[in-house]
Structure 1
Amino acid sequence: MSSYDAPTGSTDGSSPAAPPRSGNPEPPEDSRARVGTIVWGLIVVALAVLIIVAQLGIVALNGTYVVIGLMIGAGAALVIGGLLSARGRDKAAPTGKA
């Protein structure tokens, strides 16, 4: 028997051992949503709303302008969200440097 082969039963061999149970698994400490995930979710929702508005005939949309506007908005949201996230991370984890 190698060091990796653990016995599967109790000491008398009559019943299999129960797998260890962790009472309440805790989520990782940094379980916040990522900025990129939120931005891409907003892009998908915005595209869906714009498609519905265009199909209803409420507003005539130019596809090129819609894509340009979404990319400008998404880029700005990613940059601003990244800066805010980095600023928050700097406050939360001091490195001891002055």
Structure 2
Amino acid sequence: MENPAEPVNLPYETPPEAHHRAPARVGTVVWGAVVVLIAALIIVSSQLELSLDAAQTAMWLLLGAGVAMVTAGAVNLFRKK
């Protein structure tokens, strides 16, 4: 290498086309949706001057998140068989 600014061609460990993105995990998507729903409920309730019971709202959101995660896990299990 006579020129220090000359690029060095090193071999790849794996070809670039072999890399693939892992799919989003169900838990990440569900918890992201829960956070978005909480934010939307806060905004809507403050704009429309609604009073929401925080404990009951959290309970329903957690129930929905749990059902979504169990359903997605079951679908994933049956799809792999």
- TM-score bracket relative to the smaller structure: 0.7 to 0.9
Paired residue for 1:63, among 54, 61, 68?
Answer: 54
Distance in 2 separating the partners of 1:50 and 1:86: 33
Counterpart in the other structure of 2:36: 45
Distance in 2 separating the partners of 1:34 and 1:89: 15
Structure 1 length-normalised TM: 0.64
Distance in 1 separating the partners of 2:77 and 2:60: 26
Number of equivalences: 76
Q: Where do 5+ consecutive residues of structure 1 fail to align?
A: 1-12, 91-98
Counterpart in the other structure of 2:20: 27
Q: Where do 5+ consecutive residues of structure 2 fail to align?
A: none
SS at match of 1:14: coil
Residue-by-residue CA offset, 1:26-66 (whole Å, 9 max, x unaligned): 315xx222111111111011111101012113422110111
Counterpart in the other structure of 1:78: 69
Query: Bigger shift: 52-61 or 15-24?
Result: 15-24
Percent identity, aligned pairs only, is 33
Distance in 2 separating the partners of 1:23 and 1:72: 42
Name the structure where helix makes up a greater proportion of residues: 2
If you compute each CA radius of gyration, which structure gives the higher value, 1 or 2?
Answer: 1
Distance in 1 separating the partners of 2:18 and 2:70: 34
Change (3 A) 1:69 1:89: same
